[in-house]
Structure 1
Amino acid sequence: MWQIILKRENEISLSRQLFYAMKDMILEGQIRSGEALPSSRGLAKDMSISRSTVNEAYDMLETEGYIVTHQGAPTRVKEGLYLEKHQKHHEEALFPVITLADKPYKVDFKTGQPDVSLFPRYVWNQMMYKSFEQLSDKDLGYFGTAGYESLRVEISHWLFRKRGLSAKPQDIFITSGTTQALSILVTMLSKAGLPFAVEDPCHRGLLEVIENSGNSILGISVDQEGMKTALLEAHDFSAVYVTPSHQFPLGSILTAERRIELIRLARQKKFYIIEDDYDSEFRYVGASVTPLYSMDKEQVLYTGSFSKTLYPALRIGFVILPPKLHSEWMYLRKHLDVQNPIVEQAALAEFLNQRKLDKYIQQISRMYEKKRKALTTSIYECFGEQCSILGDETGLHLVLKIPGAHFDEFFIEKCQNAGIRVFPIEHYCISKGNHMDQLMLGYGHLKVEEIQKSVSRLYNLIMDTE
């Protein structure tokens, strides 16, 4: 009857299969409103199933309001349940297919990807287990929007050890990575009609966060000394975003003069500075750069994460805020996603407490230094004196500049066709045309033995393009 086919080998019970089939037929109008259904005994006989299976399906239909039963009367379909289906082409237009897997590349200079091959998985797994065992029942509830208290304390100690940064635990708030921190800060700091001032060029992700919040953007150009802070004087804005320790993507360090000028302007014009310290843990030449936050803890809002130092999927970051912003941050975070998962926070607190992160950073820094040397050596061997390298003293990427080159959309298409992923600096520019001769090369994830071959392939493609 009704051409319903039940699959006995299916993990879904026969009664629920029957329920789903009849529900769909009711919604599609194949079983009309008011129509009497066959008795459970009769339907069971027709479909060669037990009567109890039919009764269970009828009970589910009645519970969800698809049928009505009355003593001594046939069971009938409830009135007004026909639901017209969406047209298929409408569904495809509204919900396009998204491919999650990366396209395979022969040469991949993507940025922001650390090498997780040396990550101590066994140690981390042990700490996850131990941390979960030690958590109280209260910890497993809605324990706190600010973050796990022990982790906030350990981050405070870690920042002091590694960056010379003094921050109180109560000023540190745990986030699901830097992107979430920036998203909340943009909402907090937005002033009607005023743009957010950002470095130009700048990370595309930040620009999208600002634009998606309905705010406008003011690009401030960057040179070898960082953001040209003098250009801020003539404008009013909601806040200023900077990467002073390793400008993304050009790699320059904001000079002391410009840091002072930026803070003076922030105090004078009463705006906040968002400092994104995204990869300065990896410093290969000279001492680590002191964060801007150390110069003014009231005007500078410091953001960091463990995506590069541990692994991106961990999704734990933090922001340091002055007391006057605590309550608003807590309100916005609570109504966004309440809190980070507790077990990972507890494990990270223990990882920091035992100095495991300090040792791991030392280990992977030596590995990244080898990759950096292999990359810079290969670049000079292939390109010779015609090129220059920028921003390679810190982080997991560098900038290759070839005077006279023109890295446009045609070049990118040619790279993709050749199986090479590389990003021109122009991709990150707000004002176009000033960095056409520069490419950003990420190397954190590359294998040392593959770097020379990868650079050679890029060189051959560039020469062929010219």
Structure 2
Amino acid sequence: MHLFWLHIDKSRPTPYIRQITEQIRALITTGEWPAGTRLPATRVIAAQLGVSRNIVIESYDLLIAEGYLQSQRGAGTYVADRIYELHVQLNEAKKCRESWREEEHGIGHGIGRTGRTEAMEGNSCHTGSMPQVPYDAEHDTERFPEYGQHFTVHPAHLLTEQSEHIDFRSGVPALDLFPRQRWQAAYKQACMEAPTMMFGYHTPEGTKRLRQAIADYVRRVRGVYCEPEHIILTNGATQAYGMLARLLLSEGARVIVEDPITRDIQRMMQHVGAQIVGVPVDEYGLITAHLSAAATLNEVTTTHERARSTRPSLIIVTPSHQFPLGGTLPIQRRLELLAYAEQQQCYVLEDDYDSEFRYDSSPISALQHLNPERVIYVGSFSKILSPALRIGYIVAPPALVSACRETKWYTDLHTATLEQLALARFIETGELDKHIHQMRKVYRKRRDTMVAALRLHFGEKLTVMGYSTGLHLVVELDEPCTPALLQQLYDAGVIVYPVAVHSIQTDQSHRIILGYGNVSEERIALGVAKLAHVLQSSKRVNAQERTLQSNHAEYD
């Protein structure tokens, strides 16, 4: 093994950790370091590169988290299996990709000769604003009749007023820790410096200044390959999803998603008439071995019709922090997923919603960097700053950029310009990095408090999932999370969220989501104690009922 291949370029803005991981990834994917190769000790690499050993340790930890390396206590660190072979297969799939006929496909499965999706033709988003999708409690109770009144009394979407309940809702950052003064300073300065033209209408993709700032940020922090020209700013990730659904999908189009996946995504896809196809996940995320089975049709069709009708138009994944179960998709599955997308000639939508907050290593590299022409990267500032800002973005493959700009223009012309300029300044001056660094410490403490409280009240045998990243974790209970149990918890002052409402076909009845981002350490400890008390009481009642039923059966 030749260490002189590794080097640090101190003139690059890329952090040293990412420079090291980029080079080791390249050595692995090109076969220079084959599976089973033992890596040098971290102190050896640190000495050669002239960097702190902690930097090399973090680089190794990141590559282990991504699946490139395997660590054996006392035996060293080794290159994981199958990476080179799968990388070769992906490259072969790219080479063998059939040319899409413009008159049939254009830039995607719903795109015709005009460059506009069939779904847009005759739709109100063609001539005006995109229709909003309101929260429909009746629709959700039809889908989840077993949750009945509980699901409509206090759904997550409607919990906007201050409540005494301890609300373990996921995806909400610490609202009381929003950097008000620093944001006010950035906004004021942006207003004072903005040229007169910035107070008029602007281009649909957004200001060049913010797009440049985001491009620099995602390249540095998430390893995303992009230029400012590839970025389209949106009013949050939700608008990005709506735009992409209308752009890429038509009535009856098949969309492969993780099962479970947030109910909101399912509803947005169904709103445009798409057919949702769920693929199960495990502790590592999407089970790629099930992708082929997901494309099978039940009805009898001709070979040509089957090939056209079973081909997915879009695959949606959360590879860095699967929602809600929390797995991180390893490199082997990432390569398999991308090879499948190449074979099916469809795009992959990567939802990167909260992976900046990773507690056991640096943030995982985005899926997009493996195939920028096939992966659509969607991000937002709702989790790292505040959902009130309503600023998200699409990093589009080159072939989709023009259509995304057009779709954004038809939707609402452009995202608010002054907020864009304020956010650009917030990023450029290092305030965003500072805030993320501070909040990572806060969320780590809240995560640790929740895990410790769960262990205290439930013991070490309790299954806790997805706690290495993000603002929530998942707990697997001994008994199903029934509507009656949810109501008992609500009456006790605690709100938890069943994974089952996000499930398509898989059984998630024993799992609940516990978000900790917007809950103080004291209230986390109190809420878990109440959760334990209610569950223990429920278990005793259920045991007594089973005993009575058993006695009645014997008597009969």
User: What is residue 422 of structure 1 aligned with on the other side?
Assistant: 496
1:144 aligns with 2:218: no
Offset at 1:241?
A: 0.2
User: What is residue 464 of structure 1 aligned with on the other side?
Assistant: 537
User: What is residue 505 of structure 2 aligned with on the other side?
Assistant: 431
User: What is residue 155 of structure 1 aligned with on the other side?
Assistant: 214
Query: Residue 139 of structure 1 aligns to a residue in which SS?
Result: helix
User: What is residue 108 of structure 1 aligned with on the other side?
Assistant: 167
Q: Which of 378, 387, 393 is matched with 1:312 structurally? A: 387
User: What is residue 442 of structure 1 aligned with on the other side?
Assistant: 515
Contact kept? 2:492, 2:530, Cα under 8 Å: no
Offset at 1:191?
A: 4.4
Moved more, 182-191 or 273-282: 182-191
Amino acid at match of 1:214: G
1:451 aligns with 2:494: no
User: What is residue 411 of structure 1 aligned with on the other side?
Assistant: 485
TM value normalised by structure 1:
0.76
Query: Residue 246 of structure 1 aligns to a residue in which SS?
Result: coil
Instruction: Give distance in 1, aligned partners of 2:456 and 2:350.
Output: 37
- What value does the CA root-mean-square deviation take over the aligned residues? 1.8
User: What is residue 214 of structure 1 aligned with on the other side?
Assistant: 273
TM value normalised by structure 2:
0.64
1:127 aligns with 2:186: yes
Identity %: 36
User: Which consecutive residues of structure 2, in runs of 5 or more, have no partner in the other structure?
Assistant: 1-156, 296-310, 540-556
1:330 aligns with 2:389: no
Assess, with a 3 A threshold, how the Cα gap between structure 1 residues 107 and 290 changes in structure 2: closer, same or farther: same
Amino acid at match of 2:270: E
Amino acid at match of 2:529: S
Equivalent positions of 1:385-400 (< 5 A) are: 385-400=460-475
User: What is residue 442 of structure 2 aligned with on the other side?
Assistant: 367
Query: Residue 257 of structure 1 aligns to a residue in which SS?
Result: helix
Query: Residue 198 of structure 2 aligns to a residue in which SS?
Result: coil
Instruction: Give distance in 2, aligned partners of 1:450 and 1:193.
Output: 46
Equivalent positions of 1:266-277 (< 5 A) are: 266-277=341-352
Contact kept? 1:371, 1:443, Cα under 8 Å: yes
Offset at 1:122?
A: 1.4
Please list the CA deviations of residues 90-109 of structure 1 after superposition, one character each: whole Å capped at 9, or x if unmatched: xxxxxxxx977447243211
Contact kept? 1:165, 1:294, Cα under 8 Å: yes
Amino acid at match of 1:306: F
Contact kept? 2:170, 2:514, Cα under 8 Å: yes
1:384 aligns with 2:443: no
Equivalent positions of 1:237-252 (< 5 A) are: 237-252=312-327
Query: Residue 322 of structure 2 aligns to a residue in which SS?
Result: coil
Assess, with a 3 A threshold, how the Cα gap between structure 1 residues 416 and 103 changes in structure 2: closer, same or farther: farther
Greater helix share, 1 or 2?
2
Offset at 1:123?
A: 1.8
Instruction: Give distance in 1, aligned partners of 2:531 and 2:158.
Output: 26
Amino acid at match of 2:473: L
1:189 aligns with 2:262: no
Equivalent positions of 1:54-133 (< 5 A) are: 101-102=160-161, 104-133=163-192
Please list the CA deviations of residues 55-81 of structure 1 after superposition, one character each: whole Å capped at 9, or x if unmatched: xxxxxxxxxxxxxxxxxxxxxxxxxxx
Contact kept? 1:178, 1:304, Cα under 8 Å: yes
State the number of aligned residues: 369
Equivalent positions of 1:343-358 (< 5 A) are: 343-358=418-433
Instruction: Give distance in 2, aligned partners of 1:458 and 1:103.
Output: 21
Larger Rg: 1
Contact kept? 1:105, 1:421, Cα under 8 Å: no
Query: Residue 392 of structure 1 aligns to a residue in which SS?
Result: coil
Contact kept? 2:321, 2:355, Cα under 8 Å: yes
Please list the CA deviations of residues 254-300 of structure 1 after superposition, one character each: whole Å capped at 9, or x if unmatched: 12111111101111110000000000000101232111001000110
Contact kept? 2:249, 2:272, Cα under 8 Å: no
Amino acid at match of 1:459: A
Amino acid at match of 2:483: E
Query: Residue 315 of structure 2 aligns to a residue in which SS?
Result: strand
User: What is residue 64 of structure 1 aligned with on the other side?
Assistant: none
Instruction: Give distance in 1, aligned partners of 2:224 and 2:249.
Output: 27
Offset at 1:157?
A: 0.9
Amino acid at match of 2:263: R
1:302 aligns with 2:361: no
Contact kept? 2:279, 2:286, Cα under 8 Å: yes
Instruction: Give distance in 2, aligned partners of 1:160 and 1:215.
Output: 32
Instruction: Give distance in 2, aligned partners of 1:100 and 1:213.
Output: 27
User: Which consecutive residues of structure 1, in runs of 5 or more, have no partner in the other structure?
Assistant: 1-97
Contact kept? 1:406, 1:436, Cα under 8 Å: yes
User: What is residue 172 of structure 1 aligned with on the other side?
Assistant: 231
Instruction: Give distance in 2, aligned partners of 1:191 and 1:461.
Output: 47
Contact kept? 1:424, 1:438, Cα under 8 Å: yes
Contact kept? 1:104, 1:419, Cα under 8 Å: no
Contact kept? 2:489, 2:495, Cα under 8 Å: yes
Contact kept? 2:225, 2:372, Cα under 8 Å: no
Instruction: Give distance in 2, aligned partners of 1:287 and 1:419.
Output: 36
Equivalent positions of 1:214-293 (< 5 A) are: 214-234=273-293, 235=295, 236-293=311-368
Assess, with a 3 A threshold, how the Cα gap between structure 1 residues 214 and 191 changes in structure 2: closer, same or farther: closer
Instruction: Give distance in 1, aligned partners of 2:159 and 2:167.
Output: 17
Contact kept? 1:197, 1:240, Cα under 8 Å: yes
Amino acid at match of 1:358: D
Moved more, 306-315 or 324-333: 324-333
Instruction: Give distance in 1, aligned partners of 2:460 and 2:357.
Output: 27
Instruction: Give distance in 2, aligned partners of 1:230 and 1:102.
Output: 44
Offset at 1:129?
A: 1.3
Please list the CA deviations of residues 129-185 of structure 1 after superposition, one character each: whole Å capped at 9, or x if unmatched: 111122222222111100111000001111122223231110011110001001111
